[in-house]
Amino acid sequence: MKVKNIELKGNKCVIKIEDTNVYFVNTLRRIMLSELPKLAIDDVIIYDNTSPLFDEIITHRLGLIPIPTDLQLLTFRKDCKCKGKGCPSCTVRYTLSKEEEGVVYSGDLQPEHESFAIKEGKIPIVELSKDQRIILEVEAVLGMARNHAKWQTVLAPTYTMDVSIEVDKKRMDEVKDFIKDLPKDFVELKANKLEMKDITKLPVLESYIDKAEVDFITIKRDPTKITFSFETDGSLNAKDALKESVNILTKKYDEFGKLLKKLK
């Protein structure tokens, strides 16, 4: 297997994987969607709320705020030595107290430890009018998206196979006539192949082919060469999300291998 880094910066990742197959890449995608852990607010104590929103709505909004996550420092509460009581190894606490007119943002959440300060500080929670206030305390814990969507780290992981668009050499006149009806600079004819200026618009080309009932152009996809891309919500950067997802998948393979050895 070969992996080429196309873009791996901040919350975005685009990599090219060769000598692979769709099943492996899709398995990695599903791990990212359902089993990649992150912090999310799971417990809210509201001491005072005279804002226009009910406690339940504010709690829901708090749960969707991306919380900076360090998987090297934290563990799941159920696996922690504190036995679920909530210690610094499994729980991150924030407080919020706002009594002035204006919008309350995610950045107004004050962390118990500065290293967990909210990075996406401009997410609106509620707008306060004169003489309104909100005072609360929250706890964030590790979880996985298979249990609740608020623990989903990766957004829209997708993959595409390398594409080759071949034409029938014996029907070049028909090919050229077909290209004339396409948008300007949409495709370019090179030898016996068509090359697209923007491969992301391949579905548009396919729609033209279907509409014209073209049988002299063949689109071939290579399942061994795949471009995989995703973004995170900011709780983990893309590099850490990718590495942790691979670690989770590796452990699953190891566990499955051990179970196979036990079969008689």
Do residue 140 and residue 51 come from a single domain?
yes
Cα–Cα distance list, 88 to 81, 123, 151, 209 (Å): 11, 25, 19, 59
Whole-number Å distance between alpha carbons of 139 and 74: 13
Q: What is the pTM of this model?
A: 0.86
The residue out of 151, 172, 196 marking a domain boundary is: 151
Residue 264 within any structural domain of the chain? no
* Tokens linked to 129: 């009018």
Domain boundary among 121, 151, 181: 151
pLDDT at 210: 94
181 or 124, greater pLDDT: 124
Q: pLDDT digit string (tens) for 161-178?
A: 999 999 999 999 999 999
pLDDT score recorded for residue 200: 84
| pLDDT for 192 beyond 90 | no
CATH assignment at residue 62: 2.170.120.12
Indicate whether 244 belongs to any domain.
no
Are 46 and 109 contained in the same domain? yes
Structure confidence at residue 262 (pLDDT):
86
In a domain, 249, yes or no: no
Q: Which amino acid is at 232?
A: T
Q: What's the pLDDT at 197?
A: 85
- How confident is the model over 1-14, as pLDDT tens digits? 899 999 999 999 99
In the three-class reduction of DSSP (H, G, I as helix; E, B as strand; rest coil), residue 170 is classed as: helix
What does the alpha-carbon distance between residue 200 and residue 195 come to, in Å, rounded to a whole number? 12
The total domain count for the chain is 2
Question: Residue 168's pLDDT is what?
Answer: 92
Banded model confidence at residue 264, pLDDT cuts 50, 70, 90? low
- Are 241 and 154 a contacting pair, CB within 8 Å? yes
Q: Percentage of the chain surpassing pLDDT 70?
A: 100
Distance, in Å, from the CA atom of 147 to the CA atom of 90, rounded to the nearest integer, reads 17
> What mean pLDDT is reported for the chain?
94
Does residue 262 belong to any structural domain of this protein?
no
Q: Quick one: 163 and 134 in the same domain?
A: no
CATH of the domain at 167: 3.30.1360.10
What is the C-alpha to C-alpha distance for residues 213 and 208, in angstroms, rounded to an integer? 8
Q: Which domain holds residue 179?
A: 2-34+156-228
